[in-house]
Structure 1
Amino acid sequence: MQILKHVMDDVIKRNPNEPEFHQAVEEVLLSLEPVAAKHPEWVKDKIFDKIVEPERQIIFRVPWIDDKGEEHINRGFRVQFNSAIGPYKGGLRFHPSVNIGIVKFLGFEQIFKNSLTGLPIGGGKGGSDFDPKGKSDGEIKRFCQSFMLELNRHIGENTDVPAGDIGVGGREIGYLYGMYKKINNEFTGVLTGKGLGWGGSLARKEATGYGLCYFMNEALKAKGKSFKGANVVISGSGNVAIYANQKATELGAKVVAMSDSNGYIYDSNGINLSTIRKIKEVERKRISEYVKYHPNATYTEGFRGIWNVKCDVALPCATQNEIDENSAKTLIANGCYAVGEGANMPSTMDAVNLFINNKIIFGPAKAANAGGVATSALEMAQNSMRYSWTFEEVDSKLQEIMKNIYEKCSSTASEYGFEDNLVIGANIAGFIKVAEAMYAQGI
């Protein structure tokens, strides 16, 4: 890094103890060196310096009372990163690991992901260090209501439109939306991921997992390969992983392993998705329960071990940095030829470099998992029209968006002399649209 080294140095200096944010920024800036060389006016006007600084960072106290009457205090976050091309858009994450650095890394990634969709949405992210695991419905409701009591001051259908993420599903969105509506006395599209009966979109819950497979299907086709007959390993067992499993299977693949934060299961016959959904969506139990229903399957403690399972295609759909350099080496040695990121930044930079250098078909998160936010934007459009599209209509639009994202990443990579490097293609294509808007607006 030469032209933009001062930007990276400044990020580290001004944002100490935020390694995930540093990692996300460095990965993007490395890709943008040729853009900086081509656009000295953007360097002069400090567009690169501005895009790494959030427009607004909000941290607030969230007090809530448990079922025993004891009061707890959590911390809430919302980072409104960039609104050059549209209102802030990005999920809310409820997990003990959440801190300002995590939220900033996610919000920064969201800028480029949202730009790649071609839809008018800016980048933002939020959440809390609240842990929903083991909490009753009443406790989660009271927490969500307290969280929205503050968050509502900072969001709106034309300002900032949050959605779900880890720990925030349909139940949580319902409680959050109900509180927002009560406070503001208005029925608007201020949150996405809503229930179908009150402003939600068909195909939204499927969108990230489906979109991942639509993107990877284009990437595989470009190299004369496909999902048909491929053995697939999918980390995670939440919403993204479940629907990635469903779509990969529909496209002819066999998914042989899935995981949660405790460990992973392997089933040589192919993972039974109905069982996974029963365990995770109905019973809300650990994935180890799977072997009780399928005795021929095996369960192994330690979620990283899933990358030791031999596969053709790997779809990391759990959390950030789950594939490190050693895991990447193992995947490559075992004959894996494609990796598609369903989670946000699930591969370390060392792992990504290994995949690129070994000619692995690699779909970076900001492109490959953009289907969720793309369909959230479609939900916003339906809310504005007071109208609902059919599942088939939304799914068709999603397929077209993911195909366009792949083509945009591929053609941009080629234009800048980085043939087949979808990481650089995604970063540059996502950045240019936002940078042009910032420059034109004098931001």
Structure 2
Amino acid sequence: MSINFKSFIKYVEERNPNEPEFLQAVAEVTEDLIPYINEKHPTWADLKILERLVEPERVISFRVAWLNDKNEVQVNRGYRVQMNSAIGPYKGGLRFSPTVNLSILKFLAFEQIFKNSLTGIPIGGGKGGADFDPKGKSNMEIMRFCQSFMTELYRHIGPDTDVPAGDIGVGGREIGYMYGQYKRIRNTFTGVLTGKGLNWGGSNIRPEATGYGLLYFVECIYDNLDEKIAGKTITISGAGNVAYFAAEKAIHMGARVITLSNSKGTLHDPDGLTLEKLVYVATLGRDLEKYTKKYKTATFHADKRPWQFKCDIALPCATQNELNEDDAKALVKNGCICVGEGANMPSTAEAIRVFHKAKIHFAPGKAANAGGVAVSGLEMSQNNLRQQWSSGKVDDRLKSIMLNIHKTCVKYGKEDDGYINYLKGSNIGGFIKVAVSMKAQGLV
């Protein structure tokens, strides 16, 4: 039996109507996996490995009722998508945003399967969250929401079952409130969440991990080209943790970072950000335009994205589908030779086709931004051992993991002309261990 790509996508579309983000993620992955299965492992087609992979093992939806500061009842919807546990307990973040819906969480959980597998750590794929907007809420409102959310979620998670982490809208504060509620309900101090505070089970460099890991992966790309990042010009989108620490690591490596952005627009500093300037950026919150009053050569471009500027490396670190076909063409025209995804699926399918046609070194999020979940996995190990490793030890492990992910991508993504298709390499490299494990465990 062989699998036909168009027929398979039609099958998934019929079973998952009105879920564009999930369908985009499935198409992106299976376009590489189906030819590989047909050629190398046709028995996996008979076992319906792909059909099982795109179907979540469990989807949990629940009501979250809480009181705002006016003692008014508020109602939100919470989710946990437990996608695949073939190689370990479900692992993936919780996102609090009004944009959260089942399609987005299923796409994130599906991507998480491959990302987690690539790290080499035995963890499966999951994702969750709520359509709650933490912006503009008081600390007490956020605490009450987090406690109500965990009062339902605790039934479905555990250190050997499902270990959530943070994501957009869920930082150290929210993790703390949820962990406290879990501990109160279960009367146990256990590693059921990652991203915890250093004083109560967290790991060193967890906030930095995704951004640092992204630069370690890009460094591997340049090492493979016998080049260095030092002296290269980098554009970055976003201004949150991932973008901030990617910029910090890039500056440490000697690169010139010229942009950051948010939903209001793009900050462009042609002189390049410095560590001192980054510290100032951290004080501005969403008011990036204020930066231009202190640093006069900088400009703020309202409602514009960073891809209009000449660069060697582009790092989209904001959100899904932020970089479209026109943006990709602009990057190619402006001399960009490397794109590393710090966010999850920030490039549209059309943009990726532009990158591949131009032989841009395109590093997809499931490989390039795996540093965050990698250090979350290391946090789980530290919790199990009742230890806390030094920043140096965690950073060394992170570098090693990103190097191994790069090697896997090269192994499965190298084409006949020598071009490394990192998307293909990460899709196949992340899939193999999961597929072998699913086969070994029978029809579960």
TM over 0.5: yes
Distance of aligned partners of 1:417 and 1:83 in 2 relative to their CA distance in 1, 3 Å threshold: farther
Residue 268 of structure 2 is matched in structure 1 by 266
Aligned counterpart, 1:200 = 202
- Kept in 2, the 8 Å contact 1:315–1:340? The answer is yes
| Contact 2:262 2:286 (C-alpha < 8 Å) held by counterparts | no
Q: Which piece of structure 1 moves more, 143-152 or 271-280?
A: 271-280
Q: State how 1:33-432 maps to structure 2 within 5 Å.
A: 33-37=34-38, 38-280=40-282, 284-303=285-304, 305-414=305-414, 419-432=419-432
User: When the two structures are superposed, what TM-score results if normalisation uses the length of structure 1?
Assistant: 0.97
* Counterpart residue type for residue 420 of structure 2: D
User: How far off its partner does 1:276 sit?
Assistant: 4.5
Distance 1:242 1:88 in 2: 28
- The whole-number CA distance in structure 2 between the counterparts of 1:358 and 1:98 is 34
What do the CA deviations read for 1:286-342 (whole angstroms, capped 9, x no partner)? 322322332321111114x31112111100000000000000000100111110000
Number of corresponding residues: 441
Residues 344, 365 of structure 1: 8 Å contact kept: yes
- Counterpart amino acid of 1:339? V
Residue 24 (structure 2) aligns with? 23
State the secondary structure of the residue aligned to 1:211.
Answer: helix
Give the deviation of 1:188 after TM superposition. 0.3
Aligned mates of 2:45, 2:175 — CA distance in 1? 40
Cα separation, 2, equivalents of 1:115 and 1:121: 7
Q: Is the 8 A contact 2:85 2:123 kept in 1?
A: yes
C-alpha contact 2:109 2:126 (8 A) present in aligned 1: yes
Deviation at 1:248, TM superposition (A): 0.7
Residues 274, 131 of structure 1: alpha-carbon distance in 2 compared, 3 angstrom cutoff: farther
The question of whether the paired residues in 2 share the 8 Å contact of 1:317 and 1:343 is answered with yes
Give 1:419 shift.
4.2
Q: Structure 1 segments of 4 or more deviating over 6 A? A: 415-418
Q: Contact 1:237 / 1:276 at 8 angstroms: preserved in 2?
A: no
Alignment deviations for residues 321-367 of structure 1 (CA, whole Å, 9 cap, x no partner): 00000000001001111100000000001101111110111111100
Taking structure 2 as the reference length, the TM-score comes to 0.96
Q: Deviations over 1:181-209 (max 9, x none)?
A: 11111000000000000000001111100
Tell me if structure 1 keeps the 8 A contact 2:267–2:299: yes
1:205 counterpart SS class: coil
Amino acid at match of 1:27: E
Paired residues of 2:251 and 2:275 also in contact (CA < 8 A): no
Secondary structure class of the residue paired with 1:32: helix
Q: Which amino acid in the other structure matches residue 27 of structure 2?
A: E
Aligned equivalents of 1:150 and 1:309: distance in 2? 47
Secondary structure of 1:344's counterpart equals coil
SS, match of residue 434 in structure 1: helix
CA RMSD of aligned residues (A): 1.6
Provide the rounded CA distance (Å) in 2 between the counterparts of 1:344 and 1:265: 22
Deviation digits for residues 365-385 of structure 1 (CA, Å, limit 9, x no counterpart): 100000000000000000000
Distance 2:417 2:115 in 1: 22
Cα pair 2:266 2:302 within 8 Å, conserved? yes
Q: How far apart are the structure 2 equivalents of 1:84 and 1:415?
A: 29
Post-superposition offset of 1:19: 0.5
* Separation (CA, whole Å) in 2 of partners of 1:130 and 1:84: 31
Q: Does the 8 Å CA contact 2:359/2:419 hold for their aligned counterparts?
A: no
Change in CA separation of 1:363 and 1:215 when aligned onto 2, cut-off 3 Å: same
CA distance in 2, matches of 1:262, 1:270: 20
Instruction: Say whether the 8 Å CA contact 2:64–2:77 is kept in structure 1.
Output: yes
**Contact 2:315–2:339, Cα closer than 8 Å, also in 1:** yes
Q: Deviations over 1:56-84 (max 9, x none)?
A: 00111111211122221111111000000
Gaps of 5+ in 2: none
* Structure 2 SS opposite 1:22: helix
Contact 1:82 1:88 in 2 (8 A): yes
5+ residue gaps, structure 1, are none
Tell me how far 1:414 sits from its aligned partner.
2.9
